[in-house]
Amino acid sequence: LTTYADEALIALDTLAGRAAGLVTPSLRLGVTGLSRAGKTVFISSLVHNLVNGGRLPMFEAQKSGRIARAFLEEQPDDAVPRFQYEDHIDALVKERRWPESTRAVSELRLTIAYESASAWGRMFSRGRLSVDIVDYPGEWLLDLPLLGKNYAAFSNESFELAALPVRADLARDWLETARSVDPDADADEMTARRLAESFAAYLRACKEDSRALSTLPPGRLLMPGDLEGSPALTFAPLPPAEGGRMRPGSLRAMMERRYEAYKAHVVKPFFREHITRLDRQIVLVDALQALNAGPAALADLQRALADILSCFRPGSSNFLTGMVTRRIERILVAATKADHLHHESHDRLQAVVRRLTERAAARANLSGAEVEAVAMAALRATREGTVSQGKEELPVIIGTPLAGETIGKERFDGETETAVFPGDLPRDPETLFDANAKAGPAEMVRFVRFRPPKLERSADGMTLVLPHIRLDRALQFLLGDRLA
């Protein structure tokens, strides 16, 4: 762990180096989102498009030809796993299969050599920017509120949430297990493990439920990273102690100690080493899935997004973490997988995300940071076409469904292309949030999972690049001003 003295030295070094023109300015870009939101695909496609000169017309520095080249460099943090860019690209490009998803923190440094747009800028800068991309599970971010809660409060809250009608059936097994143990009996490893496992199974069931319930902490029980099986992860809530007394050596005492260890050794270091150092952040959300599940799921997504955004609130989170936070200047909320819709619906999807984001940002009280919303597909797996039905020409999307996907009676083999009516979104996003409206039509967005696409030729026809939708807009918002 770096001490403050170390950090001061590093800061001085950096200043001196920058004055001498030796150090490349850097920017830390956080990439997060709940599991399967599309983080791995986003980072892979972003890097591939920059390194290989992809089509990025809305990314000003690229469009105006000011980017000399973009290349990968050694990352600054030796102790953080590297984002396995090459493996992911091999999977996408050579095998046309989706890469392994994010399971822990990883990092990648992409350096962009550019020519400043202004004469002033050209005089004073070497025209290099290192972007340190930090990929981490959104589940871990949602642990921040735990820092302000003791074990009793965490337990009470967990039991209250489990009693809610939407969760009651999913929680049944865990509650049964929890009631079957005596918290004041002697601590026993096997009992602790049984409780922790059934609690984790309940959290996972909530996450996998088709009602798209929001994620509950502790995040590492869902995404353990390299801590799987460690004592700091082998705990679970217990019903309140009578009279609030705790017997030393009891199961309850053991659970409390582990909960505190989780906060001290897992949550705090994660925030200190990763979150407090970010300059920019993109939060990926699977809005299409929530849309399909109806207004309650959208409300839930909005709540989860507000919780995520409030972790980036400058200043006020300090009392929880006791850490000095760098100010996150820009946050982009991006709905991924827009390639499941026809382009006529892209703006509509963006309107939905914008509404979600505005409400969530207001709740998270995010003054000071610029917040934007976009609908995009980091990797476009479909193209568009029309199918005539009678006199009408109907818009369709065309792609190769993954092996095993079905539409009606048809079952796909992973090799055959097909056209899908994507369904479309209402013109007015408000109707989607109307709690009185019928639960979302099951097929508002026809959700067939497609294989990754074949590559396209770059603008100059020289290289093969990954197709996308609006990735360039995301880049312009996240990096554009630093390449001016």
CA distance 400 to 19: 53
Ranges within 407-466 binding ligand GDP (CB under 6 A): 449-450
111 alpha-carbon distance from chain centroid? 23
d(CA 227, CA 225): 6
Per CB under 6 A, the segment of 9-17, 179-187, 229-237, 333-341 that binds ligand GDP is: 333-341
Q: Decide if residue 337 touches ligand GDP (CB under 6 A).
A: yes
CB-based contact 115:10 (threshold 8 Å) = no
Q: Any contact of residue 101 with ligand GDP (CB under 6 A)?
A: yes
Among residues 370, 341, 282, the alpha carbon closest in space to that of 469 is found at 341
Judged by CB under 6 A, the residue of 27, 28, 29, 38 near ligand GDP is 38
Of 258 and 337, nearer to ligand GDP (C-beta) is 337
Other CB atoms within a 10 A radius of the CB of residue 74 amount to: 7
In the set 341, 361, 381, 475, which binds ligand GDP (CB under 6 A)? 381
Among 39, 274, 280, 346, binds ligand GDP (CB under 6 A): 39
Q: Is the dihedral of CA 308, 314, 315, 321 positive or negative?
A: positive
Of 181 and 379, CB closest to ligand GDP: 379
| Least distance to ligand GDP, CB of residue 377, Å | 4
Please report which helix (H) or strand (E) contains residue 12, including its range. Answer: helix 4-19
Measured from the CB atom, the residue of 321 and 336 that comes closer to ligand GDP is: 336
Give the number of residues in contact with ligand GDP, rule: CB under 6 A.
20
Does 181 participate in binding ligand GDP (rule CB under 6 A)?
Answer: no
Which residue lies nearer to ligand GDP by CB, 255 or 335?
335
- The packing angle between helices 151-163 and 251-261, to 10°, is 100
**Candidate residues 27, 29, 41, 91; the one interacting with ligand GDP per rule CB under 6 A:** 41
- CA dihedral over 166, 167, 172, 175, signed as positive or negative: negative
For residue 233, the 8-state DSSP code is: G
Give the separation between CA 155 and CA 153, rounded to whole angstroms: 5
Distance of closest approach, residue 337 Cβ to ligand GDP, in angstroms: 4
* Nearest residue (CB) to ligand GDP, 251 versus 425: 425
**Shortest Å distance, C-beta 136 to ligand GDP:** 10
Among the candidate windows 69-77, 256-264, 375-383, 454-462, which touches ligand GDP by CB under 6 A?
Answer: 375-383
Q: How far is the CB of 230 from ligand GDP (least distance, A)?
A: 22
Q: Of the ranges 15-23, 96-104, 200-208, 430-438, which one interacts with ligand GDP (CB under 6 A)? A: 96-104
Shortest reach from residue 471's CB to ligand GDP, in Å: 9
Is position 283 an interface residue for ligand GDP (rule: CB under 6 A)?
Answer: no
Least spacing, CB of residue 179 vs ligand GDP, in Å: 34
Give the containing element (helix H, strand E) for 258.
helix 251-261
Binding status of residue 106 toward ligand GDP by CB under 6 A = no
Smaller CB separation from ligand GDP, 313 or 470: 470
Q: How far is CA 197 from CA 47, 224, 266, 349, 469, in A?
A: 38, 12, 18, 38, 40
Beta bridge partners of 334: 284, 374
Residue 260 Cβ vs ligand GDP, minimum distance, rounded to whole Å: 29
Residue 201 CB, nearest approach to ligand GDP (Å): 20
The full DSSP string for 111-162 is EEEE--SSHHHHHH--SEEEEEEEE--HHHHTTGGGGG--HHHHHHHHHHHH
Per DSSP, 243 falls in state G
Q: Are 365 and 391 in contact (CB under 8 A)?
A: no
Residues in the chain: 484
| Interaction site with ligand GDP (CB under 6 A) | 33, 35-41, 98, 101-102, 336-337, 339, 377-379, 381, 449-450
